[in-house]
Amino acid sequence: MTTPLAESVRVVITGLRNAGKSSIMNNLFEKNVSIISDVPGTTTDPVTRKIELGNLGPCAVTDTAGLDESGELGLQRKGKSLERLKTCDVVIFVSRGDKGVDPEERSILNNIILQKKKLIFLLTCSDLESNPEKREWADDYYPILINNINGDGFKELRKRLDKVKIEDNHELTPVEGLVNEGDFVILVTPIDLAAPKGRLIMPQVETIRDLLDRDCATLVVKERELKQFYDKLGVKPKLVITDSQAFARVAADIPHDQPLTSFSILFARKKGDLDLFIQGIKAVESTPKGARILVMESCAHHRQADDIGTVKIPRLYKQLVRQDVHFEFTRKMPSDIELKDYYMVIHCGGCMITSNVMKDRVEIIKRSGTYITNYGLFLGWVNGVYPRAIEPLYR
């Protein structure tokens, strides 16, 4: 239950309104998680709950609004449901067994198949007379017959979930392949106004835990104390990992041959496509006159006066690359058409989203022909520690 959402297998329950999705959710959790009623469209916003599901391990199961919603609000809900669908690992597709095939559900299912999602097809209302057309359509997908009233079919659903294999879901851990048992690593974590009160941020915590899991020793210091402690060390650290914003100070305080990288670069490798981000960095110098640059973040963190995405990066870009570029900021993924107007996207570390969501974003940006890089690489480049900061990852 303590596994972060970003690390859980994402299971989405989808289908038309009143197909029985919320009852599936409640029966799966064996308690009332979603509100159910006979009125179509009772579920408005996606409802996500965590559960441990057999071989899948920690899962985040989401009950979504019906995909046949209409009207202005309904279309917004449908958009949210489709977004969840795009980024999930397993789809539980729910359709009423007693009704004919709706063209909308046919097209949704085709899309799910095209996206190569793991699919479990449920035919609900198994206590009612089944519709022959629906049965014939569903038979290709090995449907499970479900009775939401007496729970028939749920044993089979759990069995089926237990057998799902998420082979390609392996997300690298922060220091996977970079350290060995017994290595010593320094982490530099500035505690400035941007740092949350009383705690470390997720990339720092995850990295510490990963190092401990790998039987490594770690020293966590602020950038101000780094030199003082580094100079007293009797052993050379295998790696120094810093917050990207402290790159310049850290690089100046440690020897030139000391392997150095940043949390953000580790997360670019873990979640995104580091090679593509490097291509993006190489394209910074060729930024054309008047180019539009989009800064993209993945969560609504509290902004400070000298905020990295909206203030620091635009300022550095204008100072060091060219003055006449136009910066815009977003947390929402623009459409393919909108993306084509940008020369470059500079993305945050994406620590709050799954690698699937990040990879989806990267793929769409790549398809649009727009360059993409991330905060860590850009800050490494402007601070003169590129390519040094990526070298430890390519050894």
Contacts with ligand SF4, 335-364, as mask; x by CB under 6 A: -------------xxxxx------------
Q: Is the CB of 17 or the CB of 347 nearer to ligand SF4? A: 347
To the nearest whole angstrom, how small is the minimum distance from the Cβ of residue 263 to ligand SF4? 9
Read off φ and ψ for residue 104, nearest 5 degrees: -65, -45
To the nearest whole angstrom, how small is the minimum distance from the Cβ of residue 303 to ligand SF4? 10
A 10 A CB-CB count for 3 gives: 14
Which residue has the closest beta carbon to ligand SF4? 348
To the nearest whole angstrom, how small is the minimum distance from the Cβ of residue 272 to ligand SF4? 11
Per the structure block, which two tokens stand in for 149?
Answer: 């009233």
Secondary structure of residue 321 in the 3-state scheme: coil
Q: Is the CB of 230 or the CB of 375 nearer to ligand SF4? A: 375
Q: Is the CB of 163 or the CB of 315 nearer to ligand SF4? A: 315
To the nearest whole angstrom, how small is the minimum distance from the Cβ of residue 299 to ligand SF4? 3
Q: Is the CB of 146 or the CB of 266 nearer to ligand SF4? A: 266
Beta carbons of 343 and 371 less than 8 angstroms apart: yes
Going from the C-alpha of 236 to that of each of 181, 222, 229, 239, 247, the distances in angstroms are: 15, 18, 12, 9, 19
To the nearest whole angstrom, how small is the minimum distance from the Cβ of residue 358 to ligand SF4? 9
How many Å apart are CA 285 and CA 204, to the nearest integer?
31
Residue 365: alpha-carbon gap to chain centroid: 15
Residues 141-180, interacting with ligand SF4 (CB under 6 A): none
Q: Is the CB of 4 or the CB of 41 nearer to ligand SF4? A: 4
Q: Is the CB of 308 or the CB of 382 nearer to ligand SF4? A: 308
To the nearest whole angstrom, how small is the minimum distance from the Cβ of residue 376 to ligand SF4? 9
Q: 54-71: buried (b, 16+ CB within 10 Å) or exposed (e) per residue?
A: eebebbbbbbbbbbbbee
Residues 290-329, interacting with ligand SF4 (CB under 6 A): 297-299, 301
Residues 192-251, interacting with ligand SF4 (CB under 6 A): none
Q: Is the CB of 8 or the CB of 298 nearer to ligand SF4? A: 298
Contacts 24+ apart (CB under 8 A), 356-360: 356/10, 356/87, 356/88, 356/89, 356/169, 357/87, 357/298, 358/271, 358/272, 358/298, 359/271, 359/272, 359/273, 360/86, 360/87
To the nearest whole angstrom, how small is the minimum distance from the Cβ of residue 343 to ligand SF4? 21
How many Å apart are CA 119 and CA 174, to the nearest integer?
30
Q: Is the CB of 75 or the CB of 299 nearer to ligand SF4? A: 299
How many Å apart are CA 169 and CA 268, to the nearest integer?
16
How many Å apart are CA 45 and CA 82, to the nearest integer?
12
To the nearest whole angstrom, how small is the minimum distance from the Cβ of residue 352 to ligand SF4? 4
Per the structure block, which two tokens stand in for 93?
Answer: 């597709």
To the nearest whole angstrom, how small is the minimum distance from the Cβ of residue 296 to ligand SF4? 9
To the nearest whole angstrom, how small is the minimum distance from the Cβ of residue 308 to ligand SF4? 8
Per the structure block, which two tokens stand in for 249?
Answer: 């100070």
Preceding omega of 314 cis (within 30 degrees of 0): no
Secondary structure of residue 195 in the 3-state scheme: coil
The β-bridge partners of 184 are: 217
How many Å apart are CA 32 and CA 20, to the nearest integer?
13
Q: Is the CB of 78 or the CB of 271 nearer to ligand SF4? A: 271
How many Å apart are CA 109 and CA 122, to the nearest integer?
12
Q: Is the CB of 124 or the CB of 204 nearer to ligand SF4? A: 204
Q: Is the CB of 59 or the CB of 357 nearer to ligand SF4? A: 357
Residues touching ligand SF4, count (CB under 6 A): 9
To the nearest whole angstrom, how small is the minimum distance from the Cβ of residue 298 to ligand SF4? 4
Binding site for ligand SF4 (CB under 6 A): 297-299, 301, 348-352
